[in-house]
Amino acid sequence: MKRRVGITGVGMITAVGSDQNSFWQGILSGKSGVDYLSLFDTTDLEVKIGAEVKNFDPGMFLERKEIRKTDRFVHFAVAGAKTALEDSGFEINQSNAHNIGVIIGSGIGGIKTFEDQARILVEKGPKRISPFFIPMIIPDMSSGYVSIATGAKGPNHTAVSACASAAHAISHSLKLIQDGDVDLMITGGAEAAMTKIAYAGFSSAGALSNKNEAPQQASRPFDLNRDGFVMGEGSGILILEELEHARQRGAQIYAELVSCGETGDAYHMTAPDPEGQGAAMAMQKVIANAGIAPAQISYINAHGTSTPPNDRIETLAIKQVFGDRAYQIPISSTKSMTGHLLGAAAGVEAIITALTLKEGIIPPTINYETPDPDCDLDYVPGKARRVGTPLEYAISNSFGFGGHNISILFKRYDENN
């Protein structure tokens, strides 16, 4: 029997909120974190909006000298991890450190540092490049530095699978606990890719919304008038813990993490399989791996990026898995509020899914105003929905450039079971 795993702590740094209460209330109220960018000059850019984390002070989590030699995505990772650990009530010490691991996903890593140092190379020459340049840009430093900052000495690596990175980090962490390798994992994702070169690249690829005239209405998953995703930044970090270990210390348990389903499209660098087979198979696998029936799924937190092909194909995949019952399952894309945090998105969405099961309230998809005939499911438009009967199982979907598909299954925690 595989060991059961509970979520005992959460920490998030987002444009909607960076403490649990303000974040969750913001999500339930349909608060958009999208605004005009202030991180850099957008004068010559086509897209001028994003879900930027404003008023973030890394000094609350890191010493000044540590801040100088780490990229912003690492600041977000450490902030989320320390917040999640505090929320869990668990203390790492010499007696337990080797039994605690860290896996944090990042799709891009330290691109701001790369952009800054490339400019220095051109303008001032190679001798002026920072000695911290390489460790500041590599994506694994999110996990590496969180282990340094917390003292966790167990398994330590990162997951890089574009917008599915945090989901793969969570999946691998789950399996380590289920198999008995560790009792506790710090996992999720961190990303800080809101830089001029990243905006230019995504915009050139036609991936971003350019609804600059109405920033808070720009991210509109499943809506007929969607035109691309809105970039976000931040982190979503969870504490996963073996269930009996958590119960013995009297920990709060938000939800159980049950299983994962992973597939690859083998189709295209950026476009999803037009038949949705890879996405459908990921959902089918996560259900089968849990030993439950599709009819037991109560909620889906969709990948829902607000790009025309993604939302249509995810809808098609859901129909393939659930048939006519797809129309009865509430689905929401919280990227309509948080923006798309790329490699960190699944971490934030895992937290939202766990809170949805715990509180029995389904978050909305905001800006869903004009129905798309190809996206005709129940996307919980506009307002959060309190359910009459307890939600039992929920799926969170994540799909990344390169054809990476992963679904994660959560279960409402029952202290008597």
| Residues marked as catalytic | 163, 303, 340
Q: How far apart are CA 301 and CA 320, in angstroms?
A: 17
Number of CB atoms found within 10 A of residue 122's CB: 8
Q: How far apart are CA 113 and CA 366, in angstroms?
A: 34
On whether the CB atoms of residues 232 and 215 are closer than 8 A, the answer is no
On whether the CB atoms of residues 191 and 236 are closer than 8 A, the answer is no
Q: Sort strands 156-157 and 100-105 into parallel, antiparallel or unpaired.
A: parallel
Place of tokens 């540092």: 113
Backbone φ, ψ for residue 257 (5° rounding)? -105, 120
CA 196 to chain centre: 22
* End-to-end Cα, the chain, rounded Å: 16
Q: How far apart are CA 316 and CA 280, in angstroms?
A: 8
Closest CA to 247 of 408, 10, 1, 417: 417
